[in-house]
Amino acid sequence: MKPEEIERMRDEALDAFAAAGDLDALQAAKVAHTGGTSPLALANREIGALPPQAKAEAGKRIGQARGAVSKALAGRQAELEAERDARVLVEEAVDVTLPHDRVPAGARHPLTTMMERVADVFVSMGYEIAEGPEVEAEWFNFDALNFVPDHPARQTQDTFFVQGTREDGKPTVDDESGIVLRTHTSPVQARALLDRELPVYIVCPGRVYRTDELDATHTPVFHQIELLAIDEGLTMSDLKGTLDHMVKALFGADMKTRLRPNYFPFTEPSAEMDMLCYVCRGESVGNPDKPCRTCSSEGWIELGGCGMVNPRVLVACGVDPEKYSGFAFGFGIERMLMFRHNVEDMRDMVEGDVRFTRPFGMEI
């Protein structure tokens, strides 16, 4: 139990700790130099057999050596842990600015979600969704809706005729077998009245076609929403209340509509429906300091057409106009999307560029 022996044991332990390059190596060195079978532990056990004087001395030396060893161990342990933590922070760092989804979730087109949003307003009031074909019999698109045979809307410059045009390109007005791409969703009114039991409360979102060139404010294919309510005792105030409810639900509780006289063959009386400009709420009117681009400072935005269903339409569809009455309206979804979201060019809606649709979000 020479002092040099004990120093050697201590120094070997200190060297082993210093040489340990990681926490595993340090753990092994710890077992070897401080464990029950380590040289210093064995030496400690031998102290008991020494004579008193030597015992005290050896005890002190070994105690000091073991104290130095455990201090060195704790120091190296702390060093290696700090090193590991620093390394882990670097190695396991996550770059939160990297794109997180390499295959971004898709979303439906804002026109689709807009149509559903409008339809939902009516579904929640008990209306049913109705649909009709886009390739439609001329009879449903025009005749059943009281368009006279030479009504200008039947001209080929407005209507895509699929079948039933004359050599000179004019529609065959006396041929009921004509087939057109529907120019509005109103033929679904006639279909619903023929198909369903009364009363009828339907909403019909759908695609319609007109022979317009694609430009900033026209597209030959666009979308409308049609509403039809036929029951006993319905009046124009029911129409007005329904319109007001719709714009409140879509644009806010302080919204309202106004009606201006107009003409449609299938409604009588007919009206053009406007809604309060949802941007300026009418405040731009007579207020040159606060002009409104959305409504051109008119205070109102034109939504579409409406009216009380013409009794002639009811008769054409086998409904007794003495007993039943009702109202209908229809409007374009593209236009609504344009002023609701400040879309300036209708072409953006049909070109399919995701840079247009993305800001509308991932609504599904």
Residue 107 identity (one-letter amino acid) = A
Q: Is 306 in the site for ligand PHE (CB under 6 A)?
A: yes
Phi and psi (nearest 5°) for 274? -115, 150
Task: Please give the annotated binding residues for Mg(2+), written as ranges.
Answer: 268
User: Which of the stretches 96-104, 160-168, 171-179, 302-310 binds ligand PHE when contact is defined by CB under 6 A?
Assistant: 302-310
- Nearest to 221, CA basis, from 236, 232, 210, 230: 210
Smallest distance from ligand PHE to CB 149, Å: 18
Which position among 110, 205, 304, 326 is part of the footprint of ligand PHE (CB under 6 A)?
Answer: 304
Which position among 186, 242, 257, 284 is part of the footprint of ligand PHE (CB under 6 A)?
Answer: 186
User: Which of the stretches 62-70, 78-86, 280-288, 300-308 binds ligand PHE when contact is defined by CB under 6 A?
Assistant: 300-308
* Choice between 16 and 229, CB closer to ligand PHE: 229
Smallest distance from ligand PHE to CB 214, Å: 18
Report angle CA 302, 307, 308 to the nearest 5 degrees.
170
User: Which of the stretches 110-118, 121-129, 154-162, 323-331 binds ligand PHE when contact is defined by CB under 6 A?
Assistant: 323-331
Task: Tell me the helices (H) and strands (E) count for the chain, helix number first.
Answer: 12, 10
Query: Per CB under 6 A, which of residues 206..235 are in contact with ligand PHE?
Result: 226
Q: Is 305 in the site for ligand PHE (CB under 6 A)?
A: yes
Smallest distance from ligand PHE to CB 210, Å: 9
Query: Per CB under 6 A, which of residues 324..353 are in contact with ligand PHE?
Result: 328-330
Smallest distance from ligand PHE to CB 171, Å: 18
- How far apart CA 181 and CA 160 sit, in angstroms, is 6
Could you give the angle at which helices 39-46 and 23-34 cross, rounded to 10 degrees?
20
Query: Per CB under 6 A, which of residues 12..71 are in contact with ligand PHE?
Result: none
- Nearest to 15, CA basis, from 29, 1, 31: 29
Q: Is 130 in the site for ligand PHE (CB under 6 A)?
A: no
- Nearest to 131, CA basis, from 265, 268, 212, 223: 223
For residue 148, the tally of other CB atoms under 10 A from its CB is 11
* Choice between 159 and 297, CB closer to ligand PHE: 159
Query: How many chain residues interact with ligand PHE (CB under 6 A)?
Result: 12
Smallest distance from ligand PHE to CB 118, Å: 14
- How far apart CA 82 and CA 84 sit, in angstroms, is 5
Q: CB–CB of 204/131 below 8 Å?
A: yes
* Choice between 132 and 307, CB closer to ligand PHE: 307
Smallest distance from ligand PHE to CB 226, Å: 6
- How far apart CA 280 and CA 288 sit, in angstroms, is 12
Which position among 184, 191, 223, 240 is part of the footprint of ligand PHE (CB under 6 A)?
Answer: 184
Phi and psi (nearest 5°) for 331? -155, 165
Query: Per CB under 6 A, which of residues 255..294 are in contact with ligand PHE?
Result: 264, 267
* Choice between 145 and 292, CB closer to ligand PHE: 145
Q: How far is CA 75 from CA 26, 67, 78, 319, in A?
A: 11, 12, 5, 96
- Nearest to 225, CA basis, from 201, 248, 204: 204
Binding positions for ligand PHE, rule: CB under 6 A = 184, 186, 226, 264, 267, 304-307, 328-330
